[in-house]
Amino acid sequence: MDEFDLIHRHFVPLAEGFPGSLNLRDDAALVDIPAGQQLVITKDAITAGVHFLGDEDAALIAKKLLRVNLSDLAAKGAQPLCYFLALMLPETTSETWVARFASGLAEDQKIFSLALAGGDTTATRGPLALSLTALGTVPTGRMLLRSGARAGDALYVSGQLGDAALSHWRLLPQPRLALGRALLEQNLAHACMDISDGLVQDLGHICTASGVGAAIEAGRVPCKADLETALTAGDDYELLFSASPDADETIAALAAELGTPLTRIGAITAEGNVTVRDASGDPITFKRGGYRHFGQKP
């Protein structure tokens, strides 16, 4: 495959919806930021054998790559703007695979209203590796942070946990962009992040950033999987947020409006670690705290 022919056939069409991409004919892109807005930038990479099995349809791999980044934007309350793509392709990669990969991106670009702005392709002697940088916008000074949780806050989670593990990590994430924007616009969330490495571990990040602790009520966790899988397996990409304990009715109304389940699962405490408690209030321990990016496979 010729690199430049590949880009022209499969990736220039993905950039046509974003004028700042310059149709991928230059070394950089131009990104205009609307007045009164700030730029939110996030970057995730995925590798065959670590984040996906490697035998999936290339279109599904492309969608997962884009959606895990959009989930980060959702957790910030951001509106997607554009993205940059880097492909590290083994020499055995066929153009048919690349075409399927590009078709997956094209389908999701229409769903989530953004376009390719630039990137790079290169060969690798290692496994397939893919990196994507997503850009979004939020009103100035309004981005949702991990660091705003307050003692006494109620803890909420969207959707259902553990489904990715039950599907052997073949389930496509559903980035909660509308929910993130609503939490920002209605000033509901004090702290927010998406769940990528397991609820217990990710909640620990909120607690560390906010200088607080947290208590999860096991019986409230929405899941079909066993509790340990639901709380530690990761790859759920649901939103975890803290809010005023008096916001239950407002959050219930928001859940109904968006058609997205929002479940109150516990509370922020003044200090301590993340604890999970059973119906009697006794702590539950698990073999692991969450997903680690080194030494694990799906």
pLDDT tens per residue, range 176-215: 999 999 999 999 999 999 999 999 999 999 999 999 999 9
* Per-residue pLDDT, 68: 96
The mean pLDDT value of the chain amounts to 93
Greater confidence (269 vs 271) lies with 269
Position 77 scores a pLDDT of 98
Q: Is the pLDDT of residue 292 over 60?
A: no
Mean pLDDT in residue range 130-136: 98
% of the chain surpassing 90 pLDDT:
85
d(CA 66, CA 131): 9
User: Is the separation of the CB atoms in 80 and 113 below 8 Å?
Assistant: yes
**What's the rounded Cα separation, in Å, for the pair 111 and 88?**
26
Residue owning tokens 């009164």: 36
Burial tier of 130 (Cβ tally within 10 Å: 0-12, 13-18, 19+): buried
pLDDT at 111: 97
| Residue 250 and residue 188 in contact, taking contact as beta carbons nearer than 8 Å | yes
Give 90-111 pLDDT, tens digit per residue: 999 999 999 999 999 999 999 9
Under DSSP, is residue 285 helix (H, G, I), strand (E, B) or coil? coil
pLDDT for 294 beyond 50? no
For each of the domains in the chain, give its residue range(s) and CATH number, in order of start: 3-139 (3.30.1330.10), 154-277 (3.90.650.10)
Distance set, CA 140 to CA 38, 40, 77, 143, 224 (Å): 5, 10, 12, 8, 39
pLDDT band at 22 (very low <50, low <70, confident <90, very high): very high
Please give the pLDDT value at position 289.
62
Instruction: For the beta carbon of residue 208, count every other beta carbon within 10 angstroms.
Output: 13
The residue type of 135 is L
Q: Read off the pTM.
A: 0.93
Residue matched to tokens 């989930």:
71
The answer to whether residue 290 scores a pLDDT higher than 60 is no
Name the residue with tokens 């969330």: 189
Question: Among residues 227, 259, 228, 255, which one has the least CA distance to residue 243?
Answer: 255
* Percentage above 70 pLDDT, the chain: 95
User: 180 by DSSP, 3-state: which?
Assistant: helix
Which segment, 4-13, 107-116, 224-233, is predicted with the most confidence on average? 107-116
Q: Looking at the predicted structure, is the pLDDT value of residue 173 above 50?
A: yes
- pLDDT of amino acid 170: 74
Output 295 or 41, whichever has higher pLDDT: 41
Contact 289/232 with Cβ under 8 angstroms? yes
Provide the b/e sequence for 237-247 (b: ≥16 CB within 10 Å): bbbbbbbbeeb
